[in-house]
Each structure stands twice: as C-alpha cells, then as structure tokens.
Amino acid sequence: MASKRKVGNLLALAVLSYLSQQPMHPYELSRTLREHGDERSIKFNHGSLYMVVGQLARAGYITASRTHGLRADRRRPGRIPRLAAGTRRGARA
C-alpha cells in the first residue's frame, strides 16, 4: 500500500517548490507558475493560490514576513510567504 503524501495538492507542492528557491508574494508566485508553464497541468486562479498559501501557513509549512514599503517589483506591498525552513515541518516539505 502506498503511503499518503503529507501535502497532496499539486498547487501546494508547486508553491512549496518555488518558495524553496526564494520568498515570493502570491502575485509573484502566480506569475512564476504561468511563466514556467505550470498552468497547463495545474489549474488555478488567484483565489485558489491565496487559499493554498493560507493553508500552508496554517499548517506550518511556510511563514509570511511583512515587507516595509513596496516590494522589489514596486507593485505589491504586504506580506511575503517564505518556506518555513527553520521548522521541522517546513524542512521536510
């Protein structure tokens, strides 16, 4: 019998993969997913992406840090999700 994955949502796995490379705002995550062609195999919209980011944060896989002023792309102020590598759960993801 196959063991169950700890994170079974394909969008959540893609988010964790990209956040392991660098912290990104959900808007930036969306753009990155589209640029890499992930939208062909993972159907998502902004609402589902924000929902997955929230679920991953509540589960302890990622954390969000508040930015001061505008982001580097000068468009999105606010909180930037990052992989919770400092926690055991984030490191295992």
Q: What is the pLDDT of residues 29-85, one digit of tens each?
A: 999 999 999 888 888 898 899 899 888 888 888 887 765 444 555 555 556 666 654
Instruction: Dump pLDDT digits (tens) for 3-13.
Output: 545 667 899 99
Angle made by CA atoms 70, 74, 86, in degrees to the nearest 5: 55
pLDDT band at 23 (very low <50, low <70, confident <90, very high): confident
pTM: 0.69
In 3D space, the residue among 16, 34, 18, 8 whose CA is nearest the CA of residue 87 turns out to be: 16
Round to whole Å and give the CA distance between 90 and 43: 24
CA 2, distance to chain mean position in Å, is 26
Residue predicted with more confidence, 90 or 80: 80
